[in-house]
Chain A
């Protein structure tokens, strides 16, 4: 009897202790974990709420939730399609989301995105602490399960566990920041957050763009690129010969083996990216080649829709894109319809799409009409080329910008003009200010723009093809 009483006494204490600890953790997570602008929260909630069996699962990055509309696919293939993609989803996340989906549903087909940025370089190393936030945004929304536990243990060294198990611990820098806590608390009081809805509003100049939740993990976005086209202010490193990291390969193999064991049909997919992004990146064929070799090795179908011929799928117009990597709703509709029909044809062994792909991306670009896809404007230190006559001490007085047109046009076929505009200047001196650029130096299609360090205002760059009358691309940089 005494032993029973002792046991009950200890049990009560343990229960109370655990209840307090849990209550504090839940409260801290509520106050500090900012998932108020997180699409994965809405998507995974809908996933867990899904009552009907999911037949076809689409996993990958934001390209998937922006480009694949499962409701349209339902109409095309008559199955239940679901989009389980999350922002910058690495293959470790894809693997555990696949397992989680397969735990709840009887999956028939899985379409895995292979995006170079999440499988090569820094983001390709799934165990690199700088990439943990991409996993945490998935883990934050996963329900407690063995998959979630294994994912946490697998993701990092033990030293990082506390941040995976206790999400609020990632926000320690905000511990005493009252404004932050108030903002998160207020955002979580909104009906949108409480009802698991998603709204993201972006303001560009006077226009307002809204991204919102569609159905089954699809994100609606009606934004189109600014007039003047794409431009970026940083340089890209081209892809190496075999760029996929060991860590990504490990999880790619795990996904493949898992699907084989569970008798799930797996398809690897390269989702459409804008030509601006791929041409600017450079050597995309290296990536395609490596994935194709792997696909052959593991006997998995692999389709990269960036190789698609324009007569089958034409996404070359900027009006299909919300930004350089993501389709907008109009583009998604075009692509989803094509994808649905294409996959059905492949399953049926239909030869309708036999000739729809180029052999390489280079071939596709070469075969395309000459175009300036966008601009890349970066600061340059190439004083030797632009100002060989000045001493090293004098270099501080000048700033050089390199304007690189991202294009398939031949060398010398692009014309670039640059000018400086001073918004504060009065109307009389405006023209002087506009032509205040010291020098421009042409190097192939690239142009180097030399400015004095004191110059203020905006650098305006315009580009057109040599034979074209109108300027097709322009950009403005605040100096």
Chain B
């Protein structure tokens, strides 16, 4: 069962209705039961792996807290090193295990990171070890996040689980949650799935020129809508049940620099890498060279985490390189800006920055999407050598999975996405803005959004429900 499957449309309302009907003290147990059911619907044995990870990390955290204060700082560092080595060993073991059960990667990657983050927080004294096993088990297995995140922290979701008030019925939570779910479906089913037709057609044939440029640009939108769609769905499901999950995306394509992009893209994972890899490695506290090395290490690890091919390593490396190069070349950039008398606070400069950032990030996506590094390089070369603008109007563009009218529709939908993200970027949230609108307008918008998902969404009996891009990581 995935969140875009028909089963989920039956499963979720039942979960929510039962959740608010049963007495408060049973609500979290109910969530735990349905979360395991949701996760085990892939395969029952996955539940056992999740349970084992839960038991080990729950006990580990309690033990860590118990020995805290009884040992010196020096021994504590020693323990930390052992912990890191142990985690690495666990990861290698996990990876070997996953070769056999590839689907397991889905869960292991996200909830393993979450449990590791929890242990580190307890070790650092940022969080208290959770004594209630069931509550901790729910923290790791909470069905909206268990498959593809967001990777929650002990300071966020676990704290909310400790607060019983959260489980109170609030109509506002239901309304906002359902609205988020609808927007998530719009991003995933209307945009990501439709764009996929074109992107797949171009990449499967390794086409060059305008085709490759357009497909790579659209792939940037596709992967964003795919993952942001899933995350918004998860947030909506969480909100409906009274929990505020971490916002994973914050208008990333409106970022002015690549480092800003990474502060806005998959924030829960980037934050995890920052807190548990970049900072322990020394962060920016040990000189420039170490900082640049640390950035490269973090992004290379991020690349490896996404997949085992060279293409992912290159993708991660490119993103790290952009940031290092950006810092190294900062004085040169400043000189150019001064020489050209550009207004750094002006809109033109800002738009240029956003466009350059998008091009850089998108070029890295080319490696991420292509079947292999060789193909990606061939397509990159063919973007220039086979460049023909005429394909934009000779009709050949519309023979690759989507027709002309569909293209126009997609452009309109992307424009809507940009508008929503632009508001988001300026900290003006659509849901908050809508509160001031007349109820008839709001109701029309809700109904319109629902019907646009129903009419324009790509789903149904021939639709592969398990095709979230981030399920593979």
Contacts from A to B (Cβ < 8 Å)? 9, 12-13, 16-17, 20-21, 24-25, 28, 129, 158-160, 162-163, 166, 168-169, 172, 175-178
Whether B443 lies near A13 (C-beta < 8 A) is: yes
Q: Is B439 an interface residue (CB 8 A)?
A: yes
Residue of A nearest to B444 (CB): A20
Residue of B nearest to A160 (CB): B461
A28 to B461, CA, bound (A): 20
Residues of B within 8 Å of A129, CB to CB, are 461
Number of interface residues of B (CB under 8 A): 20
Whether A176 lies near B409 (C-beta < 8 A) is: yes
Whether A175 lies near B440 (C-beta < 8 A) is: no
Are A176 and B454 also in contact (CB < 8 A) when A9-B439, A159-B461, A162-B460 are? no
A172 to B443, CA, bound (A): 26
Q: Is B448 an interface residue (CB 8 A)?
A: yes
Residues of B within 8 Å of A12, CB to CB, are 439
Residues of B within 8 Å of A177, CB to CB, are 403
Q: Is B387 an interface residue (CB 8 A)?
A: no
Whether A20 lies near B461 (C-beta < 8 A) is: no
4 closest residue pairs by CB, A with B: A20-B447, A176-B405, A24-B451, A16-B443
A25 to B409, CA, bound (A): 20
Residues of A within 8 Å of B439, CB to CB, are 9, 12-13
A409 to B414, CA, bound (A): 71
Whether A21 lies near B6 (C-beta < 8 A) is: no
Q: Which of B405, B440, B455, B461 contacts A16 (CB 8 A)?
A: B440
Q: How far is the CB of B193 from chain A (nearest CB, A)?
A: 12
Q: How far is the CB of A254 from chain B (nearest CB, A)?
A: 26
Residues of A within 8 Å of B17, CB to CB, are none
Whether A169 lies near B460 (C-beta < 8 A) is: yes
Are A20 and B6 also in contact (CB < 8 A) when A163-B460, A166-B454, A178-B405 are? no
Q: How far is the CB of B345 from chain A (nearest CB, A)?
A: 43
A176 to B450, CA, bound (A): 19
Whether B456 lies near A20 (C-beta < 8 A) is: no
Further 9 A-B residue pairs, CB within 8 A, beyond A28-B455, A160-B461, A172-B460: A21-B447, A24-B451, A25-B451, A158-B10, A163-B460, A175-B455, A176-B405, A177-B403, A178-B405
Whether B443 lies near A20 (C-beta < 8 A) is: yes
Q: Which of A17, A24, A168, A178 contacts B443 (CB 8 A)?
A: A17
Q: How far is the CB of B1 from chain A (nearest CB, A)?
A: 12
Whether A21 lies near B405 (C-beta < 8 A) is: no
Q: Is B406 an interface residue (CB 8 A)?
A: yes
Whether B456 lies near A175 (C-beta < 8 A) is: yes
Secondary structure class of chain A's binding surface, majority of residues: helix
Residue of A nearest to B404 (CB): A176
Residues of A within 8 Å of B444, CB to CB, are 16, 20
* Bitwise interface map of B from 7 to 19 toward A, beta carbon under 8 Å scored 1, else 0: 0001000000000
15 contacts between A and B (CB under 8 A): A16-B444, A20-B443, A20-B444, A20-B448, A21-B447, A21-B451, A25-B451, A166-B454, A169-B460, A175-B456, A176-B403, A176-B405, A176-B406, A176-B409, A177-B403
Q: Is B446 an interface residue (CB 8 A)?
A: yes
Residues of A within 8 Å of B403, CB to CB, are 176-177
A178 to B408, CA, bound (A): 13
Q: How far is the CB of B10 from chain A (nearest CB, A)?
A: 7
In residues 431-462 of chain B, which contact A (Cβ within 8 Å)? 439-440, 443-444, 446-448, 450-451, 454-456, 460-461
Residues of B within 8 Å of A24, CB to CB, are 447, 451, 455
A12 to B443, CA, bound (A): 10
Residues of B within 8 Å of A21, CB to CB, are 447, 450-451
In residues 39-90 of chain B, which contact A (Cβ within 8 Å)? none
Residue of B nearest to A32 (CB): B455
* Bitwise interface map of B from 23 to 52 toward A, beta carbon under 8 Å scored 1, else 0: 000000000000000000000000000000
Residues of A within 8 Å of B6, CB to CB, are 158-159, 162
Contacts from B to A (Cβ < 8 Å)? 6, 10, 403, 405-406, 409, 439-440, 443-444, 446-448, 450-451, 454-456, 460-461
Q: How far is the CB of A353 from chain B (nearest CB, A)?
A: 49
Q: How far is the CB of A164 from chain B (nearest CB, A)?
A: 12
Q: How far is the CB of A188 from chain B (nearest CB, A)?
A: 19
Residues of B within 8 Å of A9, CB to CB, are 439
Whether B10 lies near A17 (C-beta < 8 A) is: no
Residues of A within 8 Å of B10, CB to CB, are 158
Residue of A nearest to B402 (CB): A176
Residues of A within 8 Å of B461, CB to CB, are 129, 159-160, 163
A163 to B459, CA, bound (A): 11
Residues of A within 8 Å of B460, CB to CB, are 162-163, 169, 172
Residues of A within 8 Å of B451, CB to CB, are 20-21, 24-25
Q: How far is the CB of B31 from chain A (nearest CB, A)?
A: 24
A72 to B30, CA, bound (A): 66
Residues of B within 8 Å of A168, CB to CB, are 455
A24 to B451, CA, bound (A): 7
Residues of B within 8 Å of A13, CB to CB, are 439, 443
Q: How far is the CB of B169 from chain A (nearest CB, A)?
A: 14
A396 to B406, CA, bound (A): 43
Residues of A within 8 Å of B448, CB to CB, are 20
Q: How far is the CB of A165 from chain B (nearest CB, A)?
A: 11
Residues of A within 8 Å of B405, CB to CB, are 176, 178
A16 to B439, CA, bound (A): 10
Residues of B within 8 Å of A159, CB to CB, are 6, 461
Q: How far is the CB of A18 from chain B (nearest CB, A)?
A: 8
A166 to B459, CA, bound (A): 14
Chain A CB within 10 Å — which of B406, B450, B460 has the most?
Answer: B460
A176 to B460, CA, bound (A): 17
Q: How far is the CB of A249 from chain B (nearest CB, A)?
A: 26
Residue of A nearest to B408 (CB): A176
Residues of B within 8 Å of A28, CB to CB, are 455
Chain B CB within 10 Å — which of A28, A159, A163, A178 has the most?
Answer: A159
Residues of B within 8 Å of A17, CB to CB, are 443, 446-447
Residues of B within 8 Å of A163, CB to CB, are 460-461
Residue of A nearest to B459 (CB): A162
A168 to B454, CA, bound (A): 10
Residue of B nearest to A21 (CB): B447
Q: How far is the CB of B300 from chain A (nearest CB, A)?
A: 42
Residue of B nearest to A12 (CB): B439
Residue of A nearest to B457 (CB): A172
Residues of A within 8 Å of B447, CB to CB, are 16-17, 20-21, 24
Q: How far is the CB of A469 from chain B (nearest CB, A)?
A: 58
A25 to B450, CA, bound (A): 12
Residues of A within 8 Å of B409, CB to CB, are 176
Residue of B nearest to A158 (CB): B6
A9 to B175, CA, bound (A): 14
A24 to B10, CA, bound (A): 23
Residues of A within 8 Å of B440, CB to CB, are 16
A176 to B456, CA, bound (A): 10
Q: How far is the CB of B458 from chain A (nearest CB, A)?
A: 8
Residues of B within 8 Å of A162, CB to CB, are 6, 460
A158 to B460, CA, bound (A): 11
A12 to B403, CA, bound (A): 40
Q: How far is the CB of B448 from chain A (nearest CB, A)?
A: 7
Residue of B nearest to A166 (CB): B454
Residue of A nearest to B406 (CB): A176
A12 to B444, CA, bound (A): 12
Residues of B within 8 Å of A160, CB to CB, are 461
A408 to B375, CA, bound (A): 65
Residues of B within 8 Å of A20, CB to CB, are 443-444, 447-448, 451
